A and B are shown apart, each in its own frame.
Chain A
């Protein structure tokens, strides 16, 4: 059996304070759902920095090498032609397309990484806890231990920060 508690705040400052208190008390926060990105929440929840930039670099590098390599191969090896008095290996001519494909690959790489890692995509069926999360409610979902020893302490912290609809839920597993 998994037990958790959910509540929402009307103000991001209350949310930040509550999250900080809970973290200090070693309570595990399952998720925080907000209508917009909250500055400073990442560090309170102890998130690591996202690896998306690395994905972007790698996919960009692949695009860069592929584009330059392909142009060079097509014009030097596969079908060398004299065009406008340019050498076969006309580096300056290859740069624009190389650049464009670098950007294209990097962008696609990052967007796919973002969607896959976040399990988002057309048809993704994530539970919606409250329809006003995307409007003006800042929801927090906290894991509770099975024994219920933390319940009171968590509720107290939430109540202190004016949390609304504090609900304990249980799921059989």
Chain B
């Protein structure tokens, strides 16, 4: 396939197929460095702290949280939506960018999809804990029971159960199908007998036969075709948790697509946060190039601007609607007691990404890293603003109230951060961070032009 010379190479440095295999599998074969041990110590401690707080919540009940009668949803649901949103970038990269034939996805899809899985795991914890009695969590599934009742199919919260569990399962399938050939590669390289057996089992007996590749390509494409509407549906359904209600600030029709745009926006920020460090530590700068970072930054600015337009649309329509509760909800967001949350959200999500219109900044790693943290924070506050500020002053002024998280809620959030990063740190030692086979397949067309001339 012809690729115009004005395009930036996707794989730099004179790479051969062998070099690609060697360099990407190096982290699995080598011993982890000091940084890795330091990292995992930190993340596991955060996880343990979170687990303790979860145990405390389950033992003593939801009363240990800062929720009250007016504000029934606080940090827990904020974190849930935040984590689900972060997951969306992985599916977007692997599915939608595959359909749009964006070859630069090949270097980042594997780790982004892994991130999806871990983020959805973290997200799923919150509703489970929020139930108060997680051991009865299976009540959410429709199974024949002695009460003769079914679950409420009219409830958006139940749609969530199906959406999140389907999303996790399909992402796992998609991720694993893509991993099979690469696990085969590791199996054929690894020296230790025991590890070879394990990887052999996990590789499903992959041989690289042409017929298998043909089916593999076909299934990847169709799974992408299914995952693309799936990713839209998941955050849309999450948004219906709010938007089907009659709460001013929650009930607005733009929520489904706007949540999806916000999800992809925050997910890309998290991908950047992780990959800017990963590429450095694992010496993958030739695969995740500055060009890749720039492409991701372009998606950040596009989705960030869509989110910005959605904010302004909401504001304008709140005024235009003439509904006084709606008008007050938005005025209260910007100028009420939680004004700071609103302005953190606006600054981080709408204003700061606009700096990416400058090409120099798009290609600046330090700037991008800092910005990605900003966006992570901003998107967390977006959900906080939507949930808490819409709830805390509702139709009845006598029940107006304020919300403050307790250390327990904060602790659980820190715990999920610990879980997420622990999973990611384990992942980079066990599976190839970059899809080896996919990178090889774009090497000839999009590798550095220099090494082409050397070959023949």
Contacts and interface: CB of A to CB of B under 8 A. Distances in A.
Interface of A: 11-12, 31-39, 41-42, 45, 47, 49-50, 52-53, 56, 60, 70-71, 74-75, 78-79, 83-84, 86, 90, 93-94, 96-97, 99-101, 103-104, 106-108, 110-111, 114-115, 117-129, 131-136
Interface stretch (B223-231, B297-305, B322-330): B223-231
Interface stretch (B82-90, B166-174, B373-381): B166-174
A149 B223 CA distance: 46
Given A56-B226, A74-B150, A107-B169, A38 B210 contact: yes
Contact of A37 (B21, B150, B184, B441): B441
A51 to B, nearest CB: 9
A130 to B, nearest CB: 9
B250 to A, nearest CB: 16
Interface of B: 1, 16-18, 21, 142, 148-150, 152-156, 158-159, 162-163, 166, 169-170, 173-174, 177, 180-181, 184-185, 187-189, 201-202, 204-219, 222-223, 226-227, 229-230, 233, 237, 240, 436-438, 440-441, 444, 455
Given A104-B169, A128-B207, A136-B17, A50 B149 contact: no
A166 B159 CA distance: 59
Contacts of B169: 104, 107-108
Contact of A31 (B166, B187, B209, B436): B209
A103 B166 contact: yes
Contact of B210 (A31, A79, A84): A31
Nearest to A45: B210
Contacts of A47: 210-211, 214
Contacts of A78: 150
B209 A50 contact: no
Nearest to B22: A135
Nearest to A139: B208
9 contacts: A12-B444, A31-B210, A34-B210, A100-B163, A103-B230, A118-B209, A120-B204, A121-B204, A128-B188
A116 B16 CA distance: 33
Nearest to A93: B154
Given A75-B153, A103-B170, A118-B215, 6 more contacts: A33-B209, A42-B210, A74-B153, A96-B240, A107-B223, A135-B189
B153 A97 contact: yes
A133 B205 contact: no
Nearest to A72: B153
The listed residue with most A CB atoms (<10 A of its CB), out of B173, B207, B217, B226, is B207
B219 A117 contact: no
Contacts of B233: 96, 99-100, 103
A27 to B, nearest CB: 15
A124 B205 contact: yes
Contacts of B229: 99, 103
Given A74-B142, A131-B188, A33 B210 contact: yes
A126 B97 CA distance: 33
B183 to A, nearest CB: 9
Given A36-B437, A79-B150, A115-B204, A104 B170 contact: yes
A127 B209 CA distance: 11
A126 B316 CA distance: 63
Contact of B206 (A50, A101, A134): A134
Contact of B205 (A31, A90, A125): A125
B213 A34 contact: yes
- Residue among B177, B180, B211 facing the most chain A CB atoms (10 A cut-off): B211
A39 B1 contact: yes
B222 A135 contact: no
A36 B152 CA distance: 47
A37 B213 contact: yes
Nearest to A124: B205
A122 B188 contact: no
Contacts of B188: 128, 131-135
A35 to B, nearest CB: 6
A107 B173 contact: yes
The winner among A12, A74, A93 for most chain B CB atoms within 10 A is A93
A94 B153 contact: yes
Nearest to A90: B154
Contacts of A12: 444
A131 B152 CA distance: 54
A122 B202 contact: yes
A120 B226 contact: no
A93 B240 CA distance: 11
Contacts of B219: 50, 52, 110-111, 114
A53 B218 CA distance: 8
Given A97-B153, A101-B166, A107-B226, A35 B17 contact: yes
A125 B450 CA distance: 41
